Amino acid sequence: MQLTPGDPAGRTAGHGVLGVAVTDVLAYRELLATLVRRELTLRYRYAPLGVAWALLMPLLTTVIFSVVFTRVVDLEVGIAYPLFAYSGLLVWYFSATAIRNASTSLSSQASLITKVYFPRELLPFSSVLTAFADFLVGGLFLVALLIGYGVRPTWALLVLPLVIGVQCVFTAGLALLVSMGSLLYRDLRHLLEVVLTLWMYATAVLYPVDRIGGPIGALLEANPMTVIVESYRDVLIRGRLPAPIPFTLVALLACGTLAGGWMLFRREEGSFAERI
């Protein structure tokens, strides 16, 4: 894929039609694949454990909280706690890592953005796909856990691609918004870690939020990431379909987030080179 010299901001800024944006991304799909390969190579080339680093954070956190919630505090979650925690952490780290990396995806490619034209959304999208590669690696250990705990697959597993798709769409929409926001408002980058930490504890990652009750519990259950995390647990561990109404609402929210974020990204794209 050859990049076109220059920065035709007028062309991209004037296109609010998602069909044009999707066509542009598809036309530069080879560049997107190259960006993902480069990021994965840089991340793991000098890592002593290689791709095992993708397992490290969710695995260590699972071990720590398994000790806390099974030996110190007797927390009943309805399934084996290591399965509960690792499945939630694996899903959470996918979105959190993608959003975190997307926040610097534009500013870290200043020389590329100012010299050649390509769809700028490829940069945050490459962050999502790189995090998804880590998610797939971590998923292998989840499969091992499922087998170890004797969890048998059911027909609900057929819905898994849909659950993954909803999370990818939601994460991609947030990645576009965060990458653009971090470039236009530099303070946002400093707030992001705080927001992600608070959001994790407001999600059913390490404990079931339905035990809280009251207005706060209802609010936590309505958290889109809680619905996504619980949908994974439903199809993978509990052997049932996700709750239809919450999952449908989150799927609509995910599509709206991606569509709205993409249109806003395209509208502001012309000013990126000036703000880097």
> Global pTM?
0.88
List of residues 6+ apart from 201 with CB closer than 8 A: none
SS3 74: coil
Q: Give the integer Cα–Cα distance in Å for 135 and 143.
A: 12
Domain residue extents for the chain: 4-275
Using 50, 70 and 90 to split pLDDT, how confident is the model at 70?
Answer: low
Using 50, 70 and 90 to split pLDDT, how confident is the model at 83?
Answer: very high
The tens digit of pLDDT for each residue in 174-217 reads: 999 999 988 877 778 779 999 999 999 999 898 888 778 778 88
Extended strands (E) in the chain? 4-5, 116-117
Specify the range with the lowest mean pLDDT, choosing from 47-56, 157-166, 174-183: 47-56
pLDDT computed for residue 17 by the predictor: 58
CA 7 to chain centre: 29
Give the residue among 79, 91, 86, 48 at the shortest CA–CA distance from 64: 86
pLDDT computed for residue 12 by the predictor: 43
pLDDT computed for residue 52 by the predictor: 65
The tens digit of pLDDT for each residue in 97-152 reads: 999 999 988 888 877 887 788 889 999 999 999 999 999 989 999 999 999 999 99
Tokens in use for 67? 């000790």
116 phi, psi to nearest 5 deg: -135, 160
List of residues 6+ apart from 212 with CB closer than 8 A: 220
